[in-house]
Each structure stands twice: as C-alpha cells, then as structure tokens.
Structure 1
C-alpha cells in the first residue's frame, strides 16, 4: 500500500513538472508591430497560388464539413461581414497565416471547385442554404455572384516582428482555433526547415514509438522530446552551470538555428545518433520508467538518453546494462532531486546527466 501511494505521488509530481515547464513566464518585451489591411479574396487567392501566402505545416488539417463551409460561402453571398484573419509578414516578404485558415481555404476551394476531400465542391442542397444557391458550384453561380465572392474584402491584421521569438509569441497568443496550439505545434508551423523534417522523421522511429507510446497524435509533445534531446546535449547547455534555461524560447531558437538546419552533415549525425541511442534504450530499459499517468517523465528521459549518447560516443560497442545499475540510478537521492526540482536550471540539467553517465556507464559527462 505504501509503495502504491509513493508511485501515485511520483506520477503527480511529474505531471506538475510537465505543466510548470510548459507554463514558464517570459518577461522579455517583444518588438512587434501590427497594422490592418483590407484584402479581397481575389488578391488572397492569387497570393496563395503564387506561394506568397503560406499556411503553417500543421495548419491546420481542414476541419469544416460541407455544411459549415456552405454556410460560410452563403454568408459572403448575402453580404455579411467576414471575420478578420491574422497574417505575419516573414523575412522573405511572404505572409504566414496565423489565424483564419479555415475561412480562407473554404473560399479558395469553392472557387477552385474541389472540396478538401477532393470531391466537387457544391453548396449543400438543404434548407439551411437559400434555394437560389443550394446545390451549386462556383462555376454554376451567376456572374454577379462570382464577382461578389472574389471582390469581397476581408480585414487582415498583419504583424511584423524582428525575430522568431516574437513570432512565437504572436502565434501563442493570437491563434483562435478550436483549441490553443501546443509549443511544438507552433514550432512546426513556424520552421519549414530541414530540422523540422528530421524531427518528424525520427518521430516515426519504431523504437521511439515503442518507448513513448504509439498514440496517433499527441499534440506533438513526442516530437518536442526528440528536440529536447538534441537541445539539452548541446554545448550551449553543457557549458553553463548557473541560471535558468527558458525552455520555450531555447527550443525555438535551437530549432531555428541556421547553423544546424542548413548543415546536412550535422543533421545526418543527429539521425544516426538518435537511432542508436533509442535502439539501446529500448533493449536495456523498461519503458515504464519514463511514464507518468498523463505525461512523459522528461527529466528522466533526457538524462538517460543524453548519458547513453555520451557513452556510445566513447564506446560504440557498449555492453548491455544491468538492472542493478538502473535501480541504483533511480534510487539516487541527488538524481531524484535534479529530476524533480528546478528541472530547467542549467546546473540541474547537467548534474542529472552526469549522475546518469556515472551510475549507468562509469563515465563522467562534465569536466569538473
């Protein structure tokens, strides 16, 4: 009974850690400017066709059904006002859709003639749609109605920002979809680069799916754990033993670092390293040591994965590890302190990795 109670406390503790890390305060004042512009759907469609208006990677699997889409088109034909969309001006002078993707794509698909499921897009033939438009496609409308759809203006609120951290803030605070985006979902929207592609590829690794779980969609927290692995083992983190790592900001900056995502050699090394580490962990560790009821024990996984990467870099033919060594690590008082208190403090990050490297592999991670 005592052991069961202790396990429950541990589960609740790691859930709290997970929530705290994702709710960190960011006291920085961002340099963000915004202005309004009225754009016609004709202009927006041309911009989208010319790749000057871009949708985020995750943005957003189209979720409106044919009835909802038809009602929106009918509202435009009736002359009702269209809610604003939010755009962000990028460094290359393209515009990223932050909010309003469903509305824009509904009009785009209707004008082009194909619904999201690639079936002909005709307004639903029901009592919810006025008879003069019900069951009609765009090309079947009168010339006046076609013109009305294309010339209808939608108010766009456009943001300009100096860096990716500012853009992250815009996305996090402005997006008004059915639910707020997670931090990694936002990064997936912002970084259309080779690092993002690599993370998505590694997330399909069969050993990683076994360790993390085969959940169909986990709001990309599974991807964020892979990003964390690479970011926490970087020299930028390893070289610091004081201060607090701002998790959201640091992971975003790491993912958007041109020195990494534009370097094919580094990305290949990342892939090979992750594959080897995860294969070894699956073979030698019970996946349950990384699991809480509703969250993943990030600090424990970070520590063991990075310590294992360090050990494999020293000895490519690393022998299997004994259960006694794993038990010794998990019972270590200092390790438990560094994995449960101030988990994004630089000192605690590095010391828990160092303890894992020592207890599991008899190696030093830090040059103390």
Structure 2
C-alpha cells in the first residue's frame, strides 16, 4: 500500500495584532507575566522510582491501533535508548557524575507529567526492577570494569544507598491560567526540537488525555473509516482527522441555519486550527457535552455512507486525502446523522462530484485552510450541498 498523503496548506502565518505602546519615554519594552510558572527541585533517585511505581509520575504512552499491535510512545516520540546507552546512564549515576535535568508538569490532580526525561526515568525504573521492559535481565556490561556484571540487587549496601540518595535536578512547571496548558503544548515542541519530529496530535494525546482522546481512538478503529483512510498512521494523522470531523460537526451544530450570523461564527470557530483543536479537547475532554452512543453511531453511519457512495476513494480530493475536505464533508454528515437527517448514498455521490469541481470550494480546501473564512466557506458549501 502506498503511503497516505495529506494536504494541509496554510501558508499564511498567524498574526497577532496588538496596540503598540511604549513602556516609557526611553522606549523600553515590558514582557507579559509568564503563563508557565516553574521552579527548580531536586529529587532523589529512590523517590523518583517510587513515584513512577506508584503512578504519581506519569510517562504517557498511546497505542494508536492495538489491532495492528503497534506501540507508539506519545508525547516523547524520541528514538528509544539502546541498551548500551541505558547502561551508560546508570554508570554515570553510580560514578557520581552529573546527568541532565528533567522537566515535569504538575497535573490538576497533583501528579507529575513527564515533559522531558522519559528515557532517563524509565531506565531508572527498569534498573531498580532488575529487568528491561522486554523481560531481559538488566545487567551492566558496557561499563567500567569494576561495575561489569552488576545489577541493582548485587550492588553493595553502600552503593545502593549512594544511588538512592543521588539527586536529579528537575524543572517543575505549574501551568497558570487559561493559557497554561497551551503554553505547555508549545514548550514541549521546543524542548524536543532536536529529537524526532512530533506531530501536533502526538502531543495532544498525552497533554489532553482523557475520555475524549480515548473515544477518538475507538472511532479510529471503525472498519469503514479504515477503508477510507487506509493503514493506521504511525504519527496519528488518522486520529487528528477524526478529531477534526467531530469538532467541525460541533461547529455546524452551533451555526447551522445562521450562516450569516457573524457573531455566532466568531464564537464557534477561532483560528488557527491547531489551537482550535487544543481548545476543543480542553473544553470537551470529559465527553460530558456529547451523547457518546449517538456520536459513535453518527460517525459509523457517515463513514459507511461515504464508502457506499464512492468506495475507498470516498474522502479523497484530487486523488489525495485532504484534511480540510474531510473535516467539511465528514463533519457535515456527522452533524446530519446526530440530528436525524436522512442523507442518501446518491446524494453523497452527487455532492462529492459537485464539490470537486467547485472553484470556490477548491480554494477553501487548498489555501489558508485554517482561516475562518475558509472554514466557514467550505462548511457552508458542504452543508448546503448535502442537506439542501
């Protein structure tokens, strides 16, 4: 199977327009208070391992598709450390050498979420347990001669005590205000800029984990959706497209019938798209605002209708999967089925053909796709074509 292609063309940069004011006559500038208060802390190694074992420190993981037995580590999708690197890290601690600090985020329930330092912490946990995650004994081999063959259990009491009492520095972040979570989201991308590139959705599944993220994962297993999308995507693009469709269905539910009400549109969707999706997960993460069964049924029915109308190509635009086209068409169909509106296979087939030749619609799904005018234009056009 060829690799799925995605189209997300939004070449217009996000612009924040503010009144320009001088701090004083000298032209000094004043920065805003930080939305990410933080402090330094020293954690003893034994305490870190204990907190990991008690689930008081969270190392988020996300399995995008259990049926394919794929395991993707969310939030820190860096290359997993090799065994020699893990052993060198433990050796450094046993030798009393300094090691890099870790970044932790205080969660609402008081637990810590690992922002940076996953491999260091999981290596410690494995060494203390005596085995690697795959069951192999954790024995030091690629280390100094006097430590060769050592395990945690075979360390002397003095060596264990020194290791237990060794401190690792941490930067502990306490998100503040409504923008705190988004600031953490953006900070994570900067901290990991030197590692394997992360997608926005990979960060979301950890930072906004909860019932809605789990629900999106369940929808992603739908057989009709899998036909439309193809094989599970290792960087979670399929999850993001499901999220976008669900979010757009909610936008339509707030605005349908009031397409010319500008104030309503301003409240329903605020660009850019990435921020909008973050806010959607933040606001609806507990699924309390949705009928889970009704939404699941609407998604399943919509995907099946698209397959019945155009087969595996039911959501393709210009021969490729186009994120903006998908959120408009699938979002409209989900909205329709949530509200008991009947849409026939023939109507879907006819609508798709019409949209593919509509110059204005082509522009809305091809350029500046996260701008409000583009979102408004494609949703209104898809809604009109499908539901009349």
By the TM > 0.5 criterion, same fold? yes
1:349 aligned residue (358, 369, 375): 375
| 2:291 equivalent in structure 1 | 266
* Residues 149 and 26 of structure 1, relative CA distance in 2, 3 Å threshold: farther
| 1:77 equivalent in structure 2 | 94
CA distance in 1, matches of 2:232, 2:369: 26
Q: Is the 8 A contact 2:318 2:356 kept in 1?
A: no
> For residues 202-241 of structure 1, what are the structure 2 equivalents within 5 Å?
202-217=219-234, 219-235=235-251, 238=255, 239-240=264-265
Confirm or deny that 1:34 pairs with 2:38. Answer: yes
> For residues 177-188 of structure 1, what are the structure 2 equivalents within 5 Å?
178-188=195-205
CA distance in 2, matches of 1:154, 1:176: 23
CA distance in 2, matches of 1:93, 1:261: 18
| 2:216 equivalent in structure 1 | 199
2:322 aligned residue (274, 297, 309): 297
Confirm or deny that 1:155 pairs with 2:173. Answer: no
User: C-alpha displacement at 1:246, in angstroms?
Assistant: 2.2
| 1:4 equivalent in structure 2 | none
Normalised by the size of structure 1, how large is the TM-score? Answer: 0.82
| 2:155 equivalent in structure 1 | 141
User: C-alpha displacement at 1:235, in angstroms?
Assistant: 3.9
CA distance in 1, matches of 2:289, 2:377: 31
* Residues 241 and 96 of structure 1, relative CA distance in 2, 3 Å threshold: closer
User: C-alpha displacement at 1:189, in angstroms?
Assistant: 1.0
User: C-alpha displacement at 1:33, in angstroms?
Assistant: 1.2
User: C-alpha displacement at 1:117, in angstroms?
Assistant: 0.8
RMSD: 3.0
* Residues 358 and 293 of structure 1, relative CA distance in 2, 3 Å threshold: closer
Q: Is the 8 A contact 2:317 2:356 kept in 1?
A: no
User: C-alpha displacement at 1:254, in angstroms?
Assistant: 1.0
SS at match of 1:161: coil
* Residues 16 and 33 of structure 1, relative CA distance in 2, 3 Å threshold: same
> For residues 250-329 of structure 1, what are the structure 2 equivalents within 5 Å?
250-258=276-284, 261-263=286-288, 266-288=291-313, 290-291=315-316, 296-312=321-337, 313-316=339-342, 318-321=344-347, 323-329=349-355
| 1:99 equivalent in structure 2 | 116
More displaced stretch, 285-294 vs 200-209? 285-294
SS at match of 2:153: helix
| 1:170 equivalent in structure 2 | 187
**Gapped regions of structure 2 (runs ≥ 5):** 19-31, 62-73, 256-263
User: C-alpha displacement at 1:193, in angstroms?
Assistant: 0.8
**Gapped regions of structure 1 (runs ≥ 5):** 1-10
Higher helix share: 1
* Residues 120 and 326 of structure 1, relative CA distance in 2, 3 Å threshold: same
